[in-house]
């Protein structure tokens, strides 16, 4: 593994091939992840971030082989979440007086997590730390994605250490963006953005514009997860600007669940109707109880409209759909349309309930939705295909 970014900067993180979920079980990590930590050697030596707590001891042991810990002059904590700060506990036992550079908000979250009175040195945007031939420039990035988040920039080597921003949950031993499979890389990058950064899109745009206004040359963007961007590093910045701008493709996604396949048949007939009018449209069919929820969210992110369907059960909707709609609400998608559908036997509340949740989530309802009693027959199927043709004009 080539871990030297430059003569003076080395990757000292951890590749976690076994990780299958992150944030508890809130985020699926099909391709594992990495916790990137960096060691800068100059007249002063600096450690940027650490690793997740379960790898703390391994991290410190490996770091000792790299450098006498007492020769680490400064630690930079770009973000207090435990996947980056977890290694601090064991590290600070060895070098308890070493200053930790972080935001004021990070003092709150680091002490809130670890209850330790470490030597915090708080920074603000534009503050600089002279480390000899080079310097570090700090840039606060509140709510990207925690109040404590910040970036820092190393002059001379022109490296932006962006922490979570521009990251991906993507285990690789190859370390650099130009060395890995591009489809895998961008799939993980967009999933990361869709599932984590969507609520902060306005701030993403503003922060990128602020960083660009400093006119700093950027040779590397070194996030805290996944690959380091060194080949055309700002390509991921351009992608973020696109994604932050109410992103959508020529795609719609059906998200449904079904008990005896009636709601599934409704979904398929509406889809057939839409295709008859718009054969070029990319339509994805995702059964909520079968598909990974974070993959569904990624498809919602890419869609201009979603169709959400559930049969009525106990005067409500299936729990897989209810859970997803709650996740979708929290992410605050903008400028997307939606409609509902479902089968019912007697009371038929699902359509109304889904419509309410979609509106609450900020989606524009393009129709009042459609319910079919029991299992759709041939005449229902014709009605649904006609419905699909009609609604396709509103997409």
CB closer to ligand FEO out of 81 and 299: 81
Question: Of the two residues 74 and 146, which places its CB atom closer to ligand FEO in the complex?
Answer: 146
C-alpha span between 304 and 144 (Å, rounded): 25
Question: Quick check: 169 and 33 in contact, CB under 8 A?
Answer: yes
Shortest distance (Å) from residue 40 CB to ligand FEO: 20
Instruction: State the CB neighbour count (10 A cutoff) for residue 363.
Output: 24
Instruction: Single out the residue of 140, 155, 167, 119 nearest to residue 40, CA to CA.
Output: 155
The minimum distance between CB 228 and ligand FEO, in angstroms, equals 15
**Distance separating alpha carbons of residues 296 and 254, to the nearest angstrom:** 10
Nearest to 18 by CA among 3, 33, 37, 35: 33
Three-class SS state of 185:
helix
Max CA distance (Å), the chain:
79
Nearest CB to ligand FEO, comparing residues 85 and 355: 85
Rounded-to-integer distance, Cα 171 and Cα 187, Å: 13
The minimum distance between CB 24 and ligand FEO, in angstroms, equals 13
- What mask, x for binding ligand FEO by CB under 6 A, covers residues 118 to 157? ---------------------------xx-----------
Helix (H) or strand (E) holding 47: strand 45-48
Active site residues: 23, 79, 81, 83, 145, 164, 192, 225
Asked whether position 164 contacts ligand FEO by CB under 6 A, the answer is yes
Q: What is the DSSP string of 130-185?
A: E-SSSEEEEEE-TTSSSTT-EEEEETTTTEEEEETTT------SS-BTTTS-HHHH
According to the binding rule CB under 6 A, does residue 14 interact with ligand FEO?
no
225 lies in the binding site for ligand FEO (CB under 6 A): yes
Site for ligand FEO in 364-383 (CB under 6 A): none
- Tell me which of 50, 56, 195, 224 binds ligand FEO, using CB under 6 A: 224
Binds ligand FEO by CB under 6 A, chosen from 42, 83, 299, 380: 83
Q: How near is the Cβ of 89 to ligand FEO at its closest, in Å?
A: 16
Taking the complex as a whole, how short is the minimal distance between the CB of residue 112 and ligand FEO, in angstroms?
A: 15
Residues near ligand FEO (CB under 6 A): 79, 81, 83-84, 145-146, 164, 224-225
């Amino acid at each position: 593994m080539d871990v030297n970014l430059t003569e003076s900067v080395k990757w000292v993180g951890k590749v976690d091939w076994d990780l299958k979920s992150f944030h508890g079980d809130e985020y699926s990590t099909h391709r594992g992840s990495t916790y990137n930590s960096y060691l800068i050697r100059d007249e002063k030596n600096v450690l940027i971030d650490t690793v997740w707590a379960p790898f703390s001891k391994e991290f410190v042991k490996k770091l000792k082989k790299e450098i006498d810990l007492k020769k680490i002059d400064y630690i930079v904590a770009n973000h207090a979440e435990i996947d980056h700060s977890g290694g601090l506990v064991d590290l600070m036992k060895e070098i308890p007086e070493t200053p930790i550079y972080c935001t004021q908000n990070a003092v709150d979250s680091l002490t809130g997590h670890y209850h330790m009175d470490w030597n915090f040195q708080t920074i603000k945007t534009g503050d600089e730390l002279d480390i000899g031939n080079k310097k570090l420039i700090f840039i606060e990035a509140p709510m990207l994605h925690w109040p404590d988040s910040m970036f820092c920039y190393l002059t001379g080597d022109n490296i932006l250490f962006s922490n979570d921003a521009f990251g991906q949950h993507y285990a690789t031993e190859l370390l650099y963006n130009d060395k890995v499979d591009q489809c895998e890389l961008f799939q993980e990058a967009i999933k990361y953005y869709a599932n984590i950064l969507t609520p902060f899109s306005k701030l993403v745009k503003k922060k990128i514009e602020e960083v660009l206004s400093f006119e700093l040359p950027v040779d590397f963007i070194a996030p805290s997860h996944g690959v380091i961007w060194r080949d055309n590093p700002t390509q991921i910045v351009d992608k973020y600007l696109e994604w932050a701008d109410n992103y959508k493709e020529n795609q719609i996604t059906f998200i449904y669940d079904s008990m005896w396949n009636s709601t599934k048949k409704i979904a398929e007939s509406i889809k057939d109707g839409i295709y008859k009018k718009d054969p070029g449209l990319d339509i994805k069919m995702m059964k909520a109880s079968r598909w990974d929820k974070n993959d569904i969210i990624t498809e919602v992110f890419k869609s201009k409209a979603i169709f959400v369907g559930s049969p009525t059960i106990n005067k409500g909707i299936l729990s897989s759909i209810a859970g997803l709609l709650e996740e979708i609400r929290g992410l605050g998608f903008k400028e997307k349309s939606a409609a509902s559908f479902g089968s019912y036997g007697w009371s038929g509340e699902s359509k109304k309930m889904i419509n309410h949740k979609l509106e609450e989530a900020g989606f524009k309802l393009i129709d009042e939705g459609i319910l079919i009693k029991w299992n759709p027959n041939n005449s229902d199927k014709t009605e649904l295909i006609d419905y699909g043709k009609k609604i396709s004009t509103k997409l």
